[in-house]
């Protein structure tokens, strides 16, 4: 092979049969049998050949990539720090230094004294191609710091502990964690979860400081392979909350934080389809659950009878209750009304007293920020919109006033008055109105290029927030639209359910119909639309280029979940058992098998013209394994009938999130945007 032609993957016929249906998979060999170790020379050679092809084809765009990167970087305040927040006897903040990829964690005594550097990510990342901080946790007495690090993108973190007074890193080292780090037993113990061989957290474990790992105690083990376990402290820090669940069912146990070896208290036994999470105020248990309404209710129970739930806030079609947070004197309820964020204060002793926090714009993203103390009188909030940079606010509970503490600075300049944002509703083919958030410059020419972003899975809402990198498209005449399609929970839990399992194809249809609606309203034209999505959003990209290839002028699919059928048929893969409630179980259910096969992008590639396509992958990605995009691109190369660009870039030292570091990750965004501008013929 020369760089004059793209790599062609070998075809090695393989078939598998389920429910009497035989499926051919000629590129299954791209999965290294030794995974998660990838050492097969033929597999590596193919991925490297694809990377070489990517470099060769994008080489002519290097000037544009560099210009975009400089432009994006110039919008980031390089020497920046967060607003300090009090927690106990210290004020804590994070800081980026000029040119640094990673941050430093600082604190200062409230009573006065020097600034203390408690964790230096820059030093920890030294010599590593990839670096990601997982958990970070200061002990309750402020003397010890626990943190965890992933240095290859595999999302298996190693936890360490240091004495903040002396700077000494203790001998305690816990490899293979995938969890938070929770201090218990008067800071003598640390609770964590290990990832098992299938990258599943089926446990909560207790490590006693100074003791060998062999003496760690398993506090809870989960036998259902689809469930994941996590641990946290109650807001009053008196209870360890051990939660287990999948995408539709949960179960919670409580353990006294001072005595982590005590017998756990089961709140309520799991019931399929019932989700709940809890916190405590004194002897009162507060429960956020969907047992009586899909949009959740807030209930309470006495700790002595934790399964007897009494409603505090009824479930409602109009209000989607997404969560709550308890404080000593009041509690905060968060949710969405008609897709718009809502934050309300409520009082334990006066149920009729409800104080919503009022925000200034018609469309925005807002919520609680970092509020670490039990006795808060001023709440830290975050706020932004598609035209308003991210802000940090304080809400004085007694005075009911908002104070802006910090607004995201854009050193190269930003004039919000140049931009407009709209919230549209576009009818899908079944008549359902799909919300769409759109950002554009007021001087944009009608019918110009438009970028459409979507996700639509797991009940994850894509909020209409602010992005500095997005401006590099918008300032070049693009409109930027977010399709709030079914499968997310943008409009409540029913919106999520209407895009999962047997309703999955609504997600894909919504995205296509939003694009058609934007064309009909004059925002753009067919072939002038670029689209992007990652992970499950990459599955979306694969589905819509199979169904409606002519709509799209450029497509970017990041770590795309495109080999859906084969992955859901393989329970040995990290996520598969936990994903069956989301997609269906094709092993046991023939209807699920047939439905997944009908939309799985890899299985539905056909002989037709496809739009220009840029695909990314991570060799160490445990969520969407590298062979999914590799197989997909191989089959596309075999069957597509056009001469459009098809590029695959595999990060050989990274995982699901691509490159680490605030500037290195921007380089990948610059590559993505350069590809889009190139394929849509947008001139500088």
Indicate if 207 belongs to the active site: no
Pairwise CA distance, residues 402 & 385, whole Å: 17
Pairwise CA distance, residues 64 & 613, whole Å: 18
Pairwise CA distance, residues 559 & 615, whole Å: 7
Rg (the chain; Cα; Å): 25
**What are the b/e assignments for 400-421, b being 16+ CB within 10 Å?**
eebeeeeebebeeebeeeebeb
Pairwise CA distance, residues 663 & 665, whole Å: 5
The residue annotated as part of the active site, out of 535, 558, 603, 660, is: 535
Indicate if 443 belongs to the active site: no
3-state secondary structure 289-313: ECCCCCCCEEEEEECCCCCCCEEEE
Q: Who contacts 177 (Cβ-Cβ below 8 Å, separation ≥6)?
A: 134, 135, 148, 156, 157, 158, 159, 192, 193, 194, 195
* Contact present, 422 and 438 (Cβ < 8 Å): yes
Indicate if 484 belongs to the active site: no
Helix or strand (DSSP H, E) at 68: helix 62-74
Tokens representing 278 are 């809890």
Q: How buried is residue 114: exposed, middle or buried, by Cβ count under 10 Å (0-12/13-18/19+)?
A: exposed
The residue annotated as part of the active site, out of 46, 247, 558, 656, is: 656
Pairwise CA distance, residues 441 & 476, whole Å: 9
Q: Quick one: CA torsion of 618, 619, 625, 631, rounded to 10 degrees?
A: 90
Pairwise CA distance, residues 145 & 499, whole Å: 42
The CA-CA-CA angle for residues 390, 118, 237, to 5°, reads 75
Q: Residue 345, SS3?
A: strand
Place of tokens 């994903």: 579
* Contact present, 169 and 154 (Cβ < 8 Å): no
The residue annotated as part of the active site, out of 25, 341, 510, 621, is: 621
Give the DSSP per-residue string, 107-122. Answer: EEETTS---EEEEEHH
- CB 570: neighbour CB atoms within 10 A? 14
Q: Residue 631, SS3?
A: helix
The residues annotated as belonging to the active site are 535, 621, 656
């Amino acid at each position: 092979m020369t760089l004059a032609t793209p790599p062609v993957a070998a075809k090695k016929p393989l078939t598998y049969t389920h429910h009497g249906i035989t499926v051919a998979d000629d590129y299954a060999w791209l999965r290294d049998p030794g995974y998660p170790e990838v050492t097969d020379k033929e597999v590596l050679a193919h991925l490297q050949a694809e990377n070489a092809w990517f470099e060769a084809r994008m080489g002519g765009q290097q000037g544009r990539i560099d210009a975009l990167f400089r432009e994006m970087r110039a919008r980031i305040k390089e020497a920046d720090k967060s607003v300090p927040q009090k927690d106990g006897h210290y004020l804590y903040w994070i800081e980026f230094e000029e040119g640094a990829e990673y941050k430093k964690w600082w604190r200062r005594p409230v009573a006065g004294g020097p600034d203390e550097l408690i964790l230096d990510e820059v030093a920890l990342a030294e010599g590593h191609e990839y670096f990601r901080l997982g958990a970070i946790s200061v002990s309750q007495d402020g003397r010890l710091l626990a943190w965890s690090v992933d240095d290859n993108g595999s999302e298996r973190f190693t936890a360490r502990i240091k004495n903040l007074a002396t700077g000494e890193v203790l001998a305690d080292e816990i490899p293979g964690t995938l969890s938070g780090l929770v201090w218990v037993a008067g800071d003598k113990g640390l609770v964590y979860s290990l990832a098992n061989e299938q990258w599943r957290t089926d446990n909560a474990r207790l490590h006693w400081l100074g003791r060998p790992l062999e003496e760690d105690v398993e506090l809870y083990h989960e036998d259902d392979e689809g469930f994941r376990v996590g641990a946290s402290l109650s807001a009053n820090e008196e209870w360890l909350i051990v939660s287990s669940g999948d995408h539709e069912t949960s179960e919670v146990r409580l353990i006294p934080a001072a005595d982590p070896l005590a017998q756990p208290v089961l709140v309520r036994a799991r019931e399929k389809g019932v989700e709940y999470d809890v916190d405590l105020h004194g002897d009162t248990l507060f429960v956020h659950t969907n047992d009586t309404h899909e949009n959740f209710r807030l209930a309470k129970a006495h700790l002595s009878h934790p399964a007897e739930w009494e409603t505090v806030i009824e479930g409602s079609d109009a209000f989607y209750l997404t969560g709550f947070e308890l404080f000593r004197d009041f509690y905060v309820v968060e949710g969405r009304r008609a897709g718009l964020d809502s934050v309300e204060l409520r009082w334990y002793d006066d149920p009729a007293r409800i104080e919503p926090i009022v925000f200034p714009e018609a469309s925005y993203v807002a919520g609680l920020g970092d509020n670490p103390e039990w006795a808060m009188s001023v709440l830290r909030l975050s706020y932004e919109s598609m035209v308003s940079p991210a802000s940090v606010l304080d809400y004085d509970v007694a005075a009911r006033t908002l104070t802006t503490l910090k607004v995201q600075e854009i050193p190269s300049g930003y004039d919000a008055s140049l931009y407009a944002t709209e919230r549209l509703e576009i009818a899908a083919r079944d008549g359902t109105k799909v919300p769409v958030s759109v950002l554009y410059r007021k001087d944009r020419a009608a019918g110009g290029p438009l970028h459409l972003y979507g996700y639509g899975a797991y009940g994850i809402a894509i909020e209409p927030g602010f992005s500095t990198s997005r401006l590099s498209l918008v300032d070049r005449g693009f409109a930027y639209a977010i399709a709030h399609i079914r499968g997310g929970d943008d409009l409540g839990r029913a919106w999520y359910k209407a895009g999962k399992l047997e309703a999955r194809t609504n997600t894909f249809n919504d995205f296509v119909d939003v694009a058609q609606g934007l064309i009909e309203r004059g925002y753009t034209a067919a072939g002038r639309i670029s689209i992007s999505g990652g992970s499950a959003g990459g599955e979306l990209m694969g589905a819509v280029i199979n169904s409606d290839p002519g709509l799209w002028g450029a497509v970017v699919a990041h770590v795309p979940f495109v080999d859906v059928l084969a992955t859901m048929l393989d329970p040995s893969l990290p996520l598969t058992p936990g994903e069956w409630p989301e997609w269906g179980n094709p092993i046991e259910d023939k209807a699920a098998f047939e439905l997944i096969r009908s939309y799985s992008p890899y299985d539905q590639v056909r002989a037709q013209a496809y739009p220009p396509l840029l695909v990314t992958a991570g060799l160490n990605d445990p969520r969407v394994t590298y062979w999914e995009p590799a197989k997909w691109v191989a089959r596309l190369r075999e069957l597509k009938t056009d001469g459009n660009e098809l590029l695959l870039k595999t990060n050989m030292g990274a995982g699901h999130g691509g490159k680490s570091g605030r500037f290195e990750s921007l380089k990948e965004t610059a590559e993505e945007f350069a590809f889009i501008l190139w394929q849509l013929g947008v001139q500088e």
